Structure 1
Amino acid sequence: MKTIAYSVLTGVMALSAVCAKQDRPNILFIMTDDQAAWTTGYSGNKQAMTPALDSFREEAASLPNTFVNSPVCSPSRATLMTSRYPSEVKIMEYSHNPLSPEFETWPRLLQKNGYHTGLIGKWHLGGGESHPTKLGYDYFMGLLGGGCSPVNPPLEVDGKKIKVKGFMLDILTEDAMKFIENRPKDKPFMLSLHYRAPHGAYLPVRDEIWDKVKDKAYALPDFPKLKPNLEKMMRGYLASVSHYDWNFGRLMKKLDELGLRENTVVIVTSDHGYNIGHHGATHKGNGDWGSELPRSYHHKNLDKLPGKKMPNMWDTSLSPPHLIRWPETVKPNSTIRQEINFIDFFPTLCAMAGTQIPQGTVVRGKSFLPLLDGSQGDEEWNNPLLIQHDTHLTYVLRGYRTKKWKIVTSYSHNYGFLYDLEKDPGETKNLYENPEYKQVRERLTKEMESKMKAVGDPLFLPGEYPFTKKRKKK
């Protein structure tokens, strides 16, 4: 209850200040799929071609220490919607379970508070009673499942599944522009635009984009003996990001044409990060091993795992891009370095929208609006990250991240990770088995497990673990 009270109180205080300055803003929440923080030009990646995002960054605040609470699609999206942990909503892997309507969502609260709401794009949290229109959205067009072709995709349109001709990125953008243009003029709008890109398959993309990259050589991360196919993977992945960037630019131009820039909050993020050779891995938290070296490079017991899976919680898997533009509230071209969790979006968006969270609603996150408007300083902010993921419902991982330390422990297999983030921000030296750091590991494990117990993680509840039988008894 302490978390709930804090979130609601800070949200009410922040929204009072906002509402005194201006009418409730429109909210455009843009979320890509599988896009890592390292994929943009403004992040320092010289191989990325993202001119629209780079320009937007100069008008927005960047929040580079934003981390998801699970490094895979469905669990991360569920935490975003509910401000609850994956184990609470019983979604521990992609396409695991639908999101139950028993959980409150921030779109539903905004809808009840007079917002015209829409979701265009990827949902990945179920249909039927878990359909977006049952959980807070007036309008839905897109993909209920997890993946499809980036061209001529099968989408739900007006309640029916049909094949729509064209690039999915272009189709979703054009529908978003129509939604905004045709919105009711007597109420604010909130649009969730959930692109499927740059999730694989990355290609095809528009010819004018592909022509710029098809013959280009791409450098890979500095990790030994990466497999040669990763350069092709990098080329396709960054081409997909560039195609998204082209559409992002079109959408921002439409906002300006409609005179909506000044009173529209634009949030840009992704559902988690991604690896193409980073740490020797590929894909996300449930990814594969992409090096000719053995996986024991990271921990002696990793080679005992079957196949080439590389379950992980590195920052590259957890960190998406995160930009927020809100004229006259958020300082342009600023950087907010405090740690943000994905569970924090729920109370923050409610605060932005002047929407009170009903008493008794369980909210695990806390509003970071005071960081955006400058009313709270760095010294007052403490926001450790709890991470949950059961890779393929087989590898049970939990992680805990503070400003200085990160610990990741396998509760199904005998391995773990410990990093000193101040001395080793790239997470290159695993200290988990180092006897000099035994007390640090034990202290962080105690803190992590205390948090796990507080949110009812079933690893610490009586009976068999509900998500997989491959559980190592403590």
Structure 2
Amino acid sequence: MTPPNVVMLLADQWRGQDQGWIGGPSQVRTPHLDRLAAGGAAIAGGRASSPVCGPSRASLLTGRLPHEHGVVANDLPLSPRLETLATALSGAGYRTGWIGKWHLAGLPRDKWVPPAARPGIGHYAGVDCSHEHIDGHYYTGPGRRVGFTGYEPEVQTGLAVDFLADQDGPFFLTVSYNPPHDPYDSVPVPLRAGYPAERVTVPPNTPDTPEQRELQRLYWSAITAVDAQIGRVVAALDRLGLRENTIIVVTSDHGDLLGAHGLRAKQSPYAEAVRVPMVINGPGVPACRPAGLMGLVDLAPTLLGLLGLPPIGTYGRDLGDRLRSGGPLRRELLTGNWVSFDNGYDQGIGEWRGLVAEDLTYARTADGRPWLLFDDRADPWQLDNLVADPAAAGQVAEADARLTALLTESGDAFWPADRLLAELGLVEEWNARESALRGDRARLIAS
């Protein structure tokens, strides 16, 4: 029998609270994702190891944390020497493909990603990093720039269907969609009709203004638009007779604060940034809603385990047996912001490390100071920071001790950003990305 195929549908900046099957106050509609969730492992505990694009994508592919894989900030390249999910699968005879955003090839962002910069990925059609969701372009080879008109996710799905139609053996395909990442107003107007502004509500940890309601409406519209493309991919797998032997994964590299706690984008420990969709549907994965957490860092070893292949990575765990049985996943995970940059840095979000569990979120700053502690069961919107509450001093101490144990387990010395970049030999690359992208706001480090 042919080994199972793997299709990963990776959205950018899709927060975990905004999935139809999750329920709760979110008004988002995701019917195609909901069907996959109903028939597979629907994991409410999906978490990003580092809630920002490049570091999170590198963890997803390598099963390693940022201090181990070296992509501690956006626009730092992934080492071609690292073993990845794609190198493991190509070595096992899989044809591998990636369509869309990569964001692991360094500067400049607008370019073709050569084979050496995408370890294990054979077929590639995309841009290293671009947020032109309408009437944009992609590359199919060096110097081969292809312009398109229309909505980028629809174009990328078309490319994915072409790839699927050309398979005669086991394959691994990732479709890396840009939305719901900003610019939020890039959702075509007809796709916004399902969310009338007068019916939109905002979460209790988010300022309720007309501008915020419009932002919420556009964000949900983008998610539903991506969900429609998920449906197209599943329909193509059905039509081509590939569905029953294909594991489908739907996830995202991180979430989006979207105004919660007065913040935007990502890089913070709040649930809006760290929680991500995590649905796995396919052969060997029964319908279940397992308790516990699964990090993006666990995805590569888990998929390899489900395929009967040796796992890769260090901090990431193979949770395949637990998915097969529907048993509980991880009790807790290490998360963090290894190097602060761009809008995180501009908003005063520095370097931090955190502990996430089903019932709590804790974070410590780079100077060793407890920063945030939330009881996520009693306070799901994270409105009551317990760090400064004398009555919670014991809980803070216990959470800090658990975080220390996770840091020791992962070999993370939690160095300041300048020392970490120096230890990784990345000062020159860091200063180059800062100078190119930040100009007179560059955060330069002495070499």
Shorter-chain TM band:
0.7 to 0.9
**3-state secondary structure, aligned to 2:421:** coil
**Paired residue for 1:149, among 108, 112, 132?**
132
Query: Higher relative contact order by CA 8 Å / sep ≥ 6: 1 or 2?
Result: 1
Provide the TM-score with structure 2 as the length reference: 0.84
* 1:346 matched residue in structure 2: 300
Structure 1 ranges of 4+ moved more than 6 A: 467-470
Q: Which runs of 5+ in 2 are unaligned?
A: 107-111, 432-442
- CA RMSD in angstroms, aligned pairs only: 2.7
Q: Write the mapping of 1:74-473 to structure 2, written as runs, cut at 5 A.
A: 74-95=54-75, 97-126=76-105, 131=115, 134-145=118-129, 147-159=130-142, 160-183=144-167, 185=168, 187-213=169-195, 216-223=198-205, 225-285=207-267, 312-327=268-283, 329-332=284-287, 334-357=288-311, 362-374=313-325, 377-378=327-328, 382-389=330-337, 390-392=339-341, 394=345, 395-411=350-366, 416-460=371-415, 464-466=419-421
Distance 1:391 1:272, change over 3 A: same
For residues 405 and 194 of structure 2, what CA distance do their matches in structure 1 show?
A: 51
Amino acid at match of 1:178: D
* Contact preservation (8 Å) 1:154, 1:164: yes
Distance 1:456 1:57, change over 3 A: closer
1:55-112 Cα distance to aligned partner (Å, 9 max, x none): 33322220001111011111110110111111222222322x1111122101101001
For residues 399 and 255 of structure 1, what CA distance do their matches in structure 2 show?
A: 39
- Measure how far apart 1:208 and its partner are: 3.5
For residues 417 and 30 of structure 2, what CA distance do their matches in structure 1 show?
A: 50
Structure 1 residues 365-374 or 159-168, which shifts more? Answer: 159-168
* Contact preservation (8 Å) 1:63, 1:335: yes
For residues 415 and 135 of structure 1, what CA distance do their matches in structure 2 show?
A: 38
* Contact preservation (8 Å) 1:213, 1:235: yes
* 2:439 matched residue in structure 1: none
1:172-207 Cα distance to aligned partner (Å, 9 max, x none): 000000001012x1x201101111111111233345
Distance 1:442 1:243, change over 3 A: same
For residues 461 and 237 of structure 1, what CA distance do their matches in structure 2 show?
A: 34
- Measure how far apart 1:356 and its partner are: 2.1
* Contact preservation (8 Å) 2:115, 2:121: no
* Contact preservation (8 Å) 2:204, 2:381: no
Distance 1:103 1:383, change over 3 A: farther
* 1:289 matched residue in structure 2: none
**3-state secondary structure, aligned to 1:31:** strand
**3-state secondary structure, aligned to 1:350:** helix
Q: Which runs of 5+ in 1 are unaligned?
A: 1-21, 286-311
**3-state secondary structure, aligned to 2:39:** coil
* 2:50 matched residue in structure 1: 70
* 2:28 matched residue in structure 1: 48
Distance 1:210 1:398, change over 3 A: same
* 2:437 matched residue in structure 1: none
For residues 156 and 412 of structure 1, what CA distance do their matches in structure 2 show?
A: 43
% same residue: 26
- Total equivalences in the alignment: 411
For residues 176 and 37 of structure 1, what CA distance do their matches in structure 2 show?
A: 24
Distance 1:216 1:26, change over 3 A: farther
- Measure how far apart 1:232 and its partner are: 1.5
* 1:293 matched residue in structure 2: none
* 2:435 matched residue in structure 1: none
**3-state secondary structure, aligned to 1:194:** strand
